[in-house]
Structure 1
Amino acid sequence: MPAASPITAIVVAYDSAEVLPACLSALAGEGVPAIVVDNASGDASATLARGLGATVIANAHNEGYGRANNRGAASCATPYVLIVNPDVEIRPGAAEALLAAAERYPDAGMLAPRIVEPSGRVFLQPRSLLSPPHLNRSGAIAVPTGDACLPFLSGACLLVRRELLLSLGGFDPAIFLFYEDDDLCRRMRDAGHALVHVHEAEAGHGRGRSTAPSPGRRFKARWHLAWSEGYVAGKYGLPRPAVAKILENLAKAAGYGLLLKSEKMFAHAGSAAGALAWRRGRTAMAREGLEALS
C-alpha cells in the first residue's frame, strides 16, 4: 500500500489484548493505519494498541460492536474504511486486492476477503434470517473460485466506501451485538449496492477469540443474539420468534443447571431472557445503560 493509504482500519476491541498485536501488526505490514475503538476493556487492549501505533478512541462504556464502528468511521477521513475484528489477520496483499476490486466494481458497497479459519475452512455467510427464502438453501455452500456477488458478507472483515457507510447511517445503533452486519448488508443491497467476495484477498480469522470467555459473557452474548433476532425480525416484517422456543430454552437452562453444566445453562438462560426482553419492548441499549448516549 502507498504511504498515504486510502484505507483506514477500524478495530473494535473489548478485552482483546491477546489477539490485538497480531491484528495490528498485519495491518501495519499492509501500510493500513488503524483506529482501535476500545469498548472500556478491563485488560491492556488500549495500551497495547497505542504502543503498536494505532489511534485509540477509548469509550467510557462498552457501546457494542456497531456503535463503536460508527465512532471509528466518523473519526477518519479516508475514502475507505476496513472493518476488522481484532482476531482477524489480513494476509499480505489483501488490502491492495480489496482496493483494486473496489475500483474494478464501482457499484460495490462493501467487499470482503476470503476469510480462512484455523482449520483451513473458508468461512462464508450467504444465508441469513434477513435473506429471501429462495437464497437460504440447505446443504453445503460452494466456495467461490473467483470474485462473486453474495447476498451477505461477514462483518469480521469488510472494506466499505466511507461516504456510503455514513449516508446509510452506519451500523444500526439500536443493535448492541449480533445481526448488525446482516442488517447493514441488507440495507446496502436494498439501496442498490453489490456485496462482493474478493477471491485474491485473504484474511485469517481465529473465530471466537476476540474476547475471553466466561459464563457471564456467554449469558450476555446469547441474550443479545436472541434480542437482535427479534429486533431485526420486527424491523423487516418477518415472523416473530416463537414462544415455544423461549420455553424450550428455559427448560434446557433448568436441565443443564441440574446437571451442573454452567456454560450451557447460562447460554440457554440468556437466549430465553433476550427473547422475552424483546417481546416486552425492552431495548438492548437499555439493558446496557446506553440509552442516554448519542
Structure 2
Amino acid sequence: MASLIAVVVAHDSADALPACLAALAAEHVPAIVVDNASRDASAAVAEAAGARVIRNPRNEGYGRANNRGVRAAETAGHVLVLNPDVLLRPGAADALLEAAARWPDAGLYAPRIVEPDGRFFYQARSLLAPYLTNPKGRLALPEGDACAPFLSGACLMVERRLFLDLGGFDEAIFLFYEDDDLCRRVADTGRALVHVHEAVALHGRGRSSAPEPGRVFRTRWHQAWSRAYVSRKYGLPDPSFSGLLANLPKALLSALVFRRAGIERYGGSAAGAWAALRGRGALEREGLR
C-alpha cells in the first residue's frame, strides 16, 4: 500500500501542472490528475509528467472530481488533495505523514501554505467551525503545529478511509465552501484539524486555471450559492436575502454606467443569492443534474 497518493483536479491547468507534478515526484508522491474537461493540453501534460489521468467528459466541479480521484487511489493509506498551483517544498510530504503518525486521532492535516507575497495562509475562523470559533476573528499565526478551525482545500491530507466513510466532499456543491463543509464534518466526529508548520507548500493563488469569459460572474454565483447552502445545512442564518439586497443595486448601477467588471462581480453574487432563494441548485446551473 502506498503511504500517500496525491489527487490534483485540473481545469485548463496546463501551465501550472508541470511544476506541481514535478514537486510531487521529487517528494516521491504518485499523482492522480482528474481532468475536468480542460480545453487545453492539461491531460496530455499530466500524462507526460507520469501522472495517472482520469478524464471527466465535462467539468464536474471541485468536490465531485476530487471524490472520483480519491476513490481511484485504492492503494493509498492517506491522500493529499491539492490544487495545480500548489508546489510542495522539500520534506513537506514526510512532515505531513510524520504528523499523522504523531497524532493518529486527528482527521485533517495541512501544510503551512505560503502565498506569492511571502505571507503564509492561516484562516483563524470558519463560518462552520463548531469549535475554536474565534468570533472576533483574532489572527494569531501559529509558530509550530497547531489545531485549527479550518484547513484550506488548496492543500490538505486525510486518511483515505476516513474521507470515504464521511462521503468525501459534498457533491451538491460545485465550487466553494466544500472544504469548510468537510472540516466541519471531520470536527463533528471529534477529530482535530492540524496545521503542520514544518510542511511547507507554495500557493500560486488564482493560477490553477487559465482565464475564461464569464469566469468572474460564475465564480461569484457559486460563492453566494454555496455560502447559502452550507449555512442552511448547519442551521445558520441564510445570507441569501441580505446578499441579494447588497449586490443587486450595485449590479444595476454598473449596468447603467456600462462597467462590465461590476456587472460580473455584483451581478454574479446577486444571481447566486437569488438562485438559492428560489431553491435552484448549483448542479442544475451547471447542467449536471
Tell me the CA shift for residue 193 of structure 1. Answer: 1.0
Secondary structure at the aligned position of 2:187 is classed as: helix
Residues 133-172 of structure 1: pairs in structure 2 closer than 5 A: 135-138=133-136, 141-172=139-170
8 Å contact from structure 2 (residues 32, 53) kept in 1: yes
User: 2:158 and 2:48 mapped to 1: Cα distance?
Assistant: 27
User: 1:131 and 1:161 mapped to 2: Cα distance?
Assistant: 20
Tell me the CA shift for residue 187 of structure 1. Answer: 0.2
- State the match for 1:112 in structure 2: 110
8 Å contact from structure 2 (residues 107, 191) kept in 1: yes
- State the match for 1:72 in structure 2: 69
Give the paired residue count: 288
User: 2:91 and 2:242 mapped to 1: Cα distance?
Assistant: 49
Tell me the CA shift for residue 245 of structure 1. Answer: 2.7
Tell me the CA shift for residue 5 of structure 1. Answer: 4.2
Tell me the CA shift for residue 138 of structure 1. Answer: 3.5
**TM-score, normalised on structure 1?**
0.94
- State the match for 1:243 in structure 2: 241
Secondary structure at the aligned position of 1:83 is classed as: strand
User: 1:37 and 1:193 mapped to 2: Cα distance?
Assistant: 28
Query: Which ranges in structure 2 are unaligned for 5 or more consecutive residues?
Result: none
Secondary structure at the aligned position of 2:19 is classed as: helix
Secondary structure at the aligned position of 2:216 is classed as: helix
Query: Which ranges in structure 1 are unaligned for 5 or more consecutive residues?
Result: none
Secondary structure at the aligned position of 1:160 is classed as: strand
Q: Which residue identity does 1:10 align to in structure 2?
A: V
Pick aligned residue for 2:15 from 13, 18, 37: 18
- State the match for 1:49 in structure 2: 46
8 Å contact from structure 2 (residues 131, 149) kept in 1: no
Secondary structure at the aligned position of 1:80 is classed as: strand
8 Å contact from structure 2 (residues 124, 137) kept in 1: no
8 Å contact from structure 1 (residues 8, 78) kept in 2: yes
Tell me the CA shift for residue 66 of structure 1. Answer: 0.4
8 Å contact from structure 2 (residues 240, 277) kept in 1: no
Deviation string, structure 1 residues 119-173 (Cα, Å, up to 9, x no partner): 0111012322112597244455111111101111011100110000000000001
Pick aligned residue for 1:199 from 189, 197, 200: 197
Percent of pairs with identical residues: 63
8 Å contact from structure 1 (residues 227, 277) kept in 2: yes
Tell me the CA shift for residue 267 of structure 1. Answer: 1.3
Q: Which residue identity does 2:244 align to in structure 1?
A: I
